[in-house]
Amino acid sequence: MPKKKSVAKIITKWFLILIVGAAGGFLLNYALLPVLAKTDFCQHWPFFRNLSQGTTIINQTQQTTITENLAWQKITEQAIRSLAGIETTLNKKTISVATGFALTNDGLVVVPTDLIAKDRQYSINYNGENFPAIVFSTNPQISLSLLKIDRNNLFVLALADDAQIKLSEPVLLAGLNRDAQQNWLPFVNQGIVSGLPGKNILTTITEKNPMANGSLLINLSGEIIGVNLIDAKQGMITLPASQIKALLEQTLKK
């Protein structure tokens, strides 16, 4: 019996300590600290200044993470605005679908060259609207082509400088997929740059997506650093922004 009483006393003692500690913490947070924060003496410390202003206090790591997440949300929204769904048909039958993106605000859209072939027709879904498209220019050497639609005020993202790309730099892959109901739905993946541009190829570590043909690769500044292409073996390669610039320069010379 004495042992049982001893154990009971210990449990009771720790229970009381927890209750008192919780009550003390509550009083400290909601009674004592707010009063101290309003005194002139305590206003010398940032902790009390933030507390008196109702500011949530977080550490530097949390602040960086929150800031980066907000940046990615904004970049994702901008990326989706620049994307276009590409449908290729032959004799009114769908041959392929892919992602494209606006290169100029007057209707030029970048698409993978493997979509382009004789006698095919092209339709572009931009911002929920469908437009017939014509082949404006093609360049098999860089595997990119341009389609043109009768639409102005397309949302255009800036093109990054290849020389500024850094190893392990975070990137966002953004593309469009068409579901069974013929709706174009955006998808995004995050990754990092794993290899710098060489032989006009940029390597990245992102989740592979079979619908990524023509999708964008975007940096934290919201700039296009590359366009993704799916090869015959369903592997993904990324052409750097310099190749997109070359296509644009070729077009402007016409």
The domain ranges of the chain are 2-57, 76-252
- In 3D, which of 95, 78, 109, 99 has the Cα closest to residue 218? 78
Is 25 or 96 the better-scoring residue by pLDDT?
96
Which of 15-29, 66-80, 129-143, 185-199: highest mean pLDDT?
129-143
Looking up tokens 């707010």, which residue turns up? Answer: 34
pLDDT band for position 58 (50/70/90)? Answer: very low
Is 201 or 94 the better-scoring residue by pLDDT?
94
Measured CA to CA in angstroms, residue 101 lies from 64, 158, 214 at distances of 30, 12, 8
Residue 184: exposed, middle, or buried by beta-carbon count in 10 A (0-12, 13-18, 19+)?
buried
- Which residues have CB under 8 Å from 237's CB, separation 6+? 201, 228, 229, 231
d(CA 186, CA 176) in angstroms, rounded, equals: 4
Which of 22-26, 36-40, 57-61, 124-128: highest mean pLDDT?
124-128
| 116 has a pLDDT exceeding 80 | yes
Cα 189 vs. chain centroid, distance in angstroms?
7
| 218 has a pLDDT exceeding 60 | yes
pLDDT band for position 57 (50/70/90)? Answer: very low
- Provide mean pLDDT across the span 39-47: 59
For the structural domain made of 76-252, what CATH number should be given?
Answer: 2.40.10.120
Residue type, 249: E
Taking only Cα atoms into account, the Rg of the chain, rounded to an integer number of angstroms, comes to 28
The proportion of the chain whose per-residue pLDDT surpasses 90, expressed as a percent, equals 45
- Which residues have CB under 8 Å from 152's CB, separation 6+? 105, 106, 107
- Which residues have CB under 8 Å from 74's CB, separation 6+? 222
| 212 has a pLDDT exceeding 80 | yes
The proportion of the chain whose per-residue pLDDT surpasses 70, expressed as a percent, equals 71
| 55 has a pLDDT exceeding 50 | no
What secondary structure letter does DSSP report for 134? E
Q: What tokens does 98 get?
A: 């892919």
What is the tens place of the pLDDT at every residue in 133-182?
999 998 878 889 999 999 999 999 999 999 998 888 899 999 999 998 99
| 33 has a pLDDT exceeding 70 | no
Give the number of other Cβ atoms within 10 Å of residue 107's Cβ: 21
Cβ distance 167 to 196 under 8 Å?
A: yes
Q: Which of 95-109, 114-128, 188-202 has the lowest mean pLDDT?
A: 188-202
pLDDT band for position 43 (50/70/90)? Answer: low
d(CA 25, CA 108) in angstroms, rounded, equals: 62
| 56 has a pLDDT exceeding 50 | no
- Which residues have CB under 8 Å from 96's CB, separation 6+? 87, 88, 115
- Provide mean pLDDT across the span 73-84: 94
SS3 254: coil
> Around 60, how many Cα atoms within 13 Å sit in the side-chain half-sphere?
0
Cβ distance 89 to 123 under 8 Å?
A: yes
Taking all residues of the chain, what is their mean pLDDT, rounded to a whole number? 81
What is the tens place of the pLDDT at every residue in 174-193?
999 999 899 999 999 888 88
